[in-house]
């Protein structure tokens, strides 16, 4: 490891010289240099503390000692490929399977969410013999070329923003800002009908659907929580067309939604995807990931005659780390914590909405929460510039799962202050009438069901969400 | 980590139940369960020792203590994404750059050779504005869908073995079994002319070349060492067509070839690729990899407007491990060891050729050595079945770089014995005439240049190359 400690400017200079300029840092005008982290806290080179509100990779907390120990011990003993038998591989596969419906029983271990989603496409193509993929507006599924193709969030950044011929973009099931909102009698069916229409259009052109892919809750795409029943209906349409359903759990899986271990389970027990892909939180930062599918899909993939070999995937170190992460989630009841602290944070944010015109919507599940900032509540005009420039995208919360009540209070206090300053600058002020009306929406107050608000939609940006502690807040955290 | 120790049959059963059947084990009729490893030795559940002859991932030796320590220490301190500044990232980029020609100065850190090669394609597509890729016969560049497309080694396993429209397959520059052999006056120019022809054909169809991609020495493709000058000529043709040259060093980089740190450097100092991709050995088993390119290509990639973000790529743990691997290669002069032991092993194998009709060719560079088994030396008929079934593909050597003289002697003794038995079964016997002639080829004896034989070609299969030690050999190793 690096024994030198570079001056921050030297780090910046070397980065400019030797790291791809497409690889952005947070706060590019004054980037943060983090040198250590623990739990939900990160520290810069001056030992100043930051509260990490968005790192859904450091799932069980930065540098969790159990995870570090498991990794270090296995590194000392053996790290080789999966062409040899190893207990870690099979025990881990068994443990992961146990979190899922029984028919999702066959695992492929890979190194990243991107590798997982690309493999999911390969499985779908082989199993169905079809080529076309239906993806959602604003979706992001990874950085390899096949996934840029199915990620409007990415390909729309390009000059040529047209999707590839085999890619169809469906409406995002967004009931706050989408085509069918919470006042629609059945947005789940309405949004699923859009997928059905797409399939019919594709069939007219002689094209065939291999798969529908969606995050179980859209993350980069704006913290969108699909209405219950949507996935069931979509799966029905897609399967009728000979395609399969891929649930992308890369960002939202592993207990984050609080009530369930997987995001797709929010849709109800009658919904089972054909493929589930995992990623970010799975190894608490260790590069690993997994695809789980049915025996039928797996057998079909084998029948192509092509071996699947992934050099690093499923190595004993990755599996040891994956097992340790599952152990910690269980031992520390982090899913329960996500439910309770997530609910508490949501309620605090909902209180903010009562006092700040800029807050258009608060929505979330467990510790996956979005704060939707608007310029105009009636028109629901996104306050993109405000969110980006002032709060610097801190409108999305997906912190390490060990987040505490005090952390939640600190975050909300900070946001309250920022919103107050911002509204002063913008000349926005809430009238007495508005305060009593509490916004105009027909939506319910946050219910106590799961300690969370009812479904709705989200902000449209990734965020950094690291919150610098000033002295006052540092003191608070220490008490 | 796994605390249970499963009975081997239980491990096999669980694997069948929960791991994709396309993921093959070595020796599927009686797979090996490895529980620990150190240096070039692996141990099964009965503590029986195996000599690892093919693991080019455990580059500096299995579980090297310096690498383990670097990884463990950094895991304890911080593991986060590259949107924060970190010294490990920039110091590692600087160290890697220093091994390469100056113009290859910009790094992208990713998680696997597949991610690296896919990114290389994306860079080429963006930089050139062209789409077509020229790849070599038998090439393998990775398992994500874009790379299956350019890997004849893979796509030819499929029922539909036709390459995609944008993919062109060039002749492998194989001077043992290819179109132009060692008796051709200039195979480098002749093979490069084939690439030129392909470009002209593509242009006639209105297609445009984005890149030529090749492993610096073909690995799965049959241990092919391209004749010197071939890459220069190909690069000239490809650049004239507006394309770029991608050197895939995933299997052969990091000093393995002995005389040089990178395989492409065997072509001479006048050759510089536009992109170099790395992988397998880079982290001694840790899932990581890198793409290095020129400032021009990197700036063009940025100009697309699309950010590149890789969740795990370039994290402080991966970079700490990468730095430690470079340190060990240097400290233990493993490149020098590859040169000397590789040369010694090649000479021992060449001696085998004098005594065994089945040995058609021995070729290699450093510790990247191929033994080409033939049914008929004149016709150079590959002895595929013999190589697979009897020696079980042990014809390829790419062991951990700490391989010793004793290891080399043990391997050759084992192969000698197997070949003797096999030739007896097949009724092959070397005549006095042949022995004195030492095969019929016009090739030179192994020269002492780099301690290695002259260039030529290779076996056409991946191999397992783990050699079980019987009691006798164990004893030998202990002395």
Alpha helix segments (H runs only) across B51-128: 65-77, 87-97, 113-128
Which two three-digit tokens encode residue B344?
């010694």
How near does any CA of chain A get to the CA of B409, in Å? 25
The C-alpha angle A107, A113, A116, rounded to 5 degrees, equals 40
Say which CATH class B8-54+334-478 falls into.
alpha beta
Using 50, 70 and 90 to split pLDDT, how confident is the model at A387?
A: low
With beta carbons less than 8 A apart as the criterion, state whether A214 and A247 touch: yes
Contact A287 B319 (CB under 8 A): no
Residue from B252, B247, B179, B176 nearest B220 by CA? B252
The ipTM of this complex is 0.91
Distances, alpha carbon B166 to alpha carbons A379, B2, B241, B364, in Å: 47, 46, 15, 32
Cα separation of A454 and A457, whole Å?
10
Q: Which residues contact residue A13 at a Cβ distance below 8 angstroms, ignoring those fewer than 6 apart? A: none
Q: How far is CA B183 from CA A393, A463, B179, B306, B438, in A?
A: 66, 63, 11, 50, 17
Break chain B into its structural domains and give their ranges.
8-54+334-478, 65-331
Reported as type and span, the H/E element at residue A335 is helix A334-355
Q: pLDDT tens digit string along A323-359?
A: 999 999 999 999 999 999 999 999 999 999 999 998 9
Record: fold of B65-331:
3.40.640
Asked if residue B372 lies in contact with residue B176, where contact means CB atoms within 8 angstroms, the answer is: yes
Give the DSSP H or E segment for B234.
Answer: helix B230-240
Nearest CA in chain A to B25: A83
**Among the partner residues B5, B34, B105, nearest to A84 by beta-carbon distance:** B34
Beta bridge partners of A52: A466
Contacts with B74 from chain A: Cβ below 8 Å: 1
pLDDT of residue A373: 86
Bridge partners (DSSP) listed for residue B468:
B50
- Find out whether A254 and A58 touch, Cβ atoms under 8 Å: no
- H/E stretch holding B466 reads strand B466-468
Residue A3 has pLDDT above 80, yes or no: no
CA distance A214 to chain B (A): 19
Element (H, E) at B228: none
Are A258 and A339 contacting, i.e. CB atoms less than 8 angstroms apart? yes
Q: How far is CA A384 from the centre of its chain?
A: 20
Q: In what order do the strands lie in the sheet with A34-38?
A: A34-38, A41-44, A49-52, A466-468
- Beta strands B359-365 and B368-376, pairing class: antiparallel
A211 and chain B: CB distance < 8 Å anywhere? no
Residues 252-311 of B with CB under 8 A from A: 279-280, 284-288, 298-299, 301-302, 304-311
User: Given A21, A314, A318, which is nearest B302 (Cβ)?
Assistant: A21
Residue A118, chain B, CB below 8 Å: the answer is yes
pLDDT at A468: 52
- Residue B430 to chain A, least CA–CA distance (Å): 37
Nearest CA in chain A to B93: A18
Cα end-to-end distance, chain B, whole Å: 35
pLDDT at B382: 80
| A20 vs B1, B26, B301: nearest CB | B301
Contact between residue B453 and residue B225 where contact means Cβ atoms under 8 Å apart: no
According to the model, what pLDDT value does residue B425 have? 83
d(CA A175, CA A454): 11
Antiparallel, parallel or unpaired: β B209-215 and B167-170: unpaired
- A86 vs B: CB within 8 A: yes
> Other CB atoms closer than 10 Å to residue A411's CB: what's the count?
24
CATH assignment of A334-478, among 3.30.200, 3.40.50, 3.30.70, 3.90.1150: 3.90.1150
- Tell me how far apart the terminal alpha carbons of chain A are, to the nearest angstrom: 35
Residue from B1, B26, B61 whose CB has the most chain A CBs within 10 Å, to mutate: B1
Contacts of B305 in chain A (CB under 8 A): 157-159
φ/ψ of A252, rounded to 5, equals: -115, 0
Q: Does A1 score more than 50 pLDDT?
A: no
Mutate to test the interface with A, among B312, B463, B466, B468 (most CBs of A within 10 A): B312
Q: Measured between beta carbons, which residues in chain B are less than 8 angstroms from residue A287?
A: 111, 286-288, 312-313, 315, 318
Q: Three-state DSSP class for B110?
A: strand
Residue B289, phi then psi, degrees to nearest 5: -175, 175
Please answer whether residues A325 and A282 qualify as being in contact, where contact means their C-beta atoms are separated by less than 8 angstroms.
yes
- What residues in A contact B151, CB-CB < 8 Å? none
Are B308 and A284 inside 8 Å of each other by CB? no
> Between the CA of residue B284 and those of B55, B59, B75, what are the distances in Å?
10, 5, 16
Look at A52 and A435; give whichever has higher pLDDT. A52
What percentage of residues in chain A have a pLDDT greater than 70?
A: 86
Stated as kind and residue range, the H or E segment containing B253 is none
pLDDT per residue, tens digit, chain B (479 aa), is 444 589 999 999 999 999 999 999 988 889 999 999 999 999 999 999 999 998 899 999 999 999 999 999 999 999 999 999 999 999 999 999 999 999 999 999 999 999 999 999 999 999 999 999 999 999 999 999 999 999 999 888 776 667 899 999 999 999 998 999 989 999 999 999 999 999 999 999 999 999 999 999 999 888 899 999 999 999 999 999 999 999 999 999 999 999 999 999 999 999 999 999 999 999 999 999 999 999 999 999 999 889 999 999 999 999 999 999 999 999 999 999 999 999 999 999 999 999 999 899 999 999 999 988 888 888 888 877 666 554 554 478 999 999 999 999 999 999 999 889 888 888 877 765 555 555 444 444 443 433 433 333 233 333 334 555 443 333 223 22
Residue A57 is nearest to which of B22, B81, B119, comparing CB atoms?
A: B81
The C-alpha torsion from B230 through B234 and B237 to B238, rounded to 10°, is: -170
B112 at interface of A, judged by CB pairs closer than 8 A: yes
- Encode pLDDT of A193-232 as tens digits: 999 999 999 999 999 999 999 999 999 888 899 999 999 9
Report yes or no: A320 and A88 within 8 Å, Cβ to Cβ.
Answer: yes
Q: Which residues face B292 on adjacent strands?
A: B107, B276
Residue in B63, B83, B464 closest to A75 by CB: B63
For residues A172 and A137, the answer to whether their CB atoms sit within 8 Å is yes
**With an 8 Å Cβ cutoff, is A388 touching chain B?**
no
Spatial separation of the C-alpha atoms in residues B55 and B62, rounded to whole Å: 9
Q: How many residues does chain B have?
A: 479
Q: Using CA atoms, how far apart are residues B209 and B166, in angstroms rounded to an integer?
A: 9
Backbone dihedral angles phi then psi of residue B425, each to the nearest 5 degrees = -60, -45
CB within 8 A of A126, min separation 6: which ones? Answer: A300, A301, A304
Average pLDDT over residues A246-250: 98
pLDDT at A437: 52
Contact B285 A70 (CB under 8 A): no
Cβ pair B308, B299 in contact under 8 A: no
* Helix ranges restricted to H, B102-207: 113-128, 145-148, 152-155, 187-204
CA quadruple A250, A256, A258, A261: dihedral, nearest 10: 40
- CA-based nearest distance B110→chain A, Å: 9
- Torsions phi, psi for A431 (to 5 deg): -80, 160
For residue B229, what are its two tokens? 């000058």
| Contact residues on chain A for B80, CB-CB shorter than 8 A | 34, 37, 42, 55, 57-58, 62, 285
Range with the lowest mean pLDDT among A135-149, A393-407, B168-182?
A393-407
- Say how far apart CA A52 and CA A37 lie, in whole Å: 9
Residues of chain B in contact with residue A159, where contact means CB-CB under 8 angstroms, are: 304-305
Name the residue of chain A whose CA is nearest to B12's CA.
A85
**Helix, strand or coil, per DSSP, at residue B236:** helix
DSSP letters for A367-426: TEEEEEEEEETTTTEE-HHIIIIISTTTTEE---TT--HHHHHHHHHHHHHHHHHHHHHH
Spatial separation of the C-alpha atoms in residues A113 and A103, rounded to whole Å: 22
Q: List B residues 449-478 in contact with A (Cβ-Cβ < 8 A).
A: 464
How many angstroms away from the CA of A448 is the closest CA of chain B? 34
Query: How far is the C-alpha of A353 from the C-alpha of B381, rounded, in Å?
Result: 78
CB proximity under 8 Å: B 314-373 to A? 314-320, 323-324
The kind and range of the H/E element at A161 are none
C-alpha distance from B447 to closest chain A C-alpha (Å): 34
Residue A475 has a pLDDT of 28
Average pLDDT value for residue range A133-157: 94
Per-residue model confidence (pLDDT) at position B474? 32
Which residue from A241, A237, A260, A129 is spatially nearest to A191, judged by alpha carbons?
A237
- pLDDT for the residue numbered A244: 98
Q: Which two tokens stand for residue A194?
A: 């859009």
DSSP conformational letter for A470: -
User: How many Å apart are CA B231 and CA B241, to the nearest integer?
Assistant: 15
């Amino acid at each position: 490891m690096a024994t030198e400690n570079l001056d921050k400017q030297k780090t910046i200079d070397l980065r400019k010289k030797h790291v791809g300029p497409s690889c952005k840092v947070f706060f590019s005008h004054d980037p943060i240099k983090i040198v250590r982290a623990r739990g939900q806290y990160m520290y810069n080179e001056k030992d100043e503390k930051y509260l990490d509100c968005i790192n859904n990779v450091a799932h069980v907390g930065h540098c969790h000692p159990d995870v570090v120990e498991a990794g270090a011990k296995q590194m000392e003993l053996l790290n080789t490929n999966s062409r040899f038998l190893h207990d870690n591989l099979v025990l881990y596969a068994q443990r992961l399977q146990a979190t899922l419906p029984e028919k999702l029983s066959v695992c492929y271990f890979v190194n990243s969410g991107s590798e997982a989603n690309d493999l999911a496409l390969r499985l779908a193509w082989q199993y169905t013999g079809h080529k076309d993929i239906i993806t959602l507006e604003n979706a992001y599924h990874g950085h390899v070329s096949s996934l840029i193709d199915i990620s409007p969030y990415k390909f729309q950044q390009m000059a040529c923003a047209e999707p590839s011929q085999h890619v169809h973009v469906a409406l995002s099931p967004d009931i706050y800002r989408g085509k069918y909102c919470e006042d629609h009698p059945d947005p789940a069916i309405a949004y699923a009908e859009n997928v059905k229409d797409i399939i019919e259009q594709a069939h007219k052109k002689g094209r065939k659907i291999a798969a529908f892919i969606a995050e179980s809750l859209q993350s980069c795409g704006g913290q969108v929580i699909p209405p219950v029943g949507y996935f069931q209906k979509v799966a029905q349409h897609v399967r009728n067309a000979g395609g399969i359903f891929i649930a992308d759990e890369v960002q939202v899986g592993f207990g984050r939604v609080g009530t369930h271990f997987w995001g797709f389970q929010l849709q109800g027990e009658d919904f089972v995807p054909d493929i589930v892909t995992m990623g970010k939180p799975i190894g608490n930062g260790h590069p690993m990931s997994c695809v789980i599918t049915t025996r039928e899909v797996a057998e079909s993939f084998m029948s192509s005659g092509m071996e699947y070999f992934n050099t690093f995937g499923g190595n004993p170190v990755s599996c040891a780390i994956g097992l340790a992460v599952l152990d910690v989630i269980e031992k520390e009841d982090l899913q329960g914590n996500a439910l309770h602290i997530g609910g508490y944070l949501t309620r605090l944010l909902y209180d903010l909405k009562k006092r700040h015109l800029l807050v258009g919507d608060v929505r979330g599940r467990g510790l996956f929460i979005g704060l939707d900032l608007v310029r105009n509540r009636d028109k629901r005009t996104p306050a993109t510039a405000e969110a980006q420039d002032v709060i610097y995208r801190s409108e999305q919360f997906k912190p390490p799962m060990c987040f505490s009540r005090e952390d939640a209070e600190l975050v909300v206090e900070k946001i309250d202050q920022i919103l107050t300053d911002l509204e002063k600058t913008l000349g926005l002020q809430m009238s007495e009438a508005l305060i009593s009306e509490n916004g105009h929406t027909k939506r319910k107050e946050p219910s106590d069901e799961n300690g969370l608000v009812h479904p709705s939609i989200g902000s449209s940006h990734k965020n950094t969400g690291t919150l610098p502690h000033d002295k006052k807040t540092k003191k608070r955290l220490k008490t």
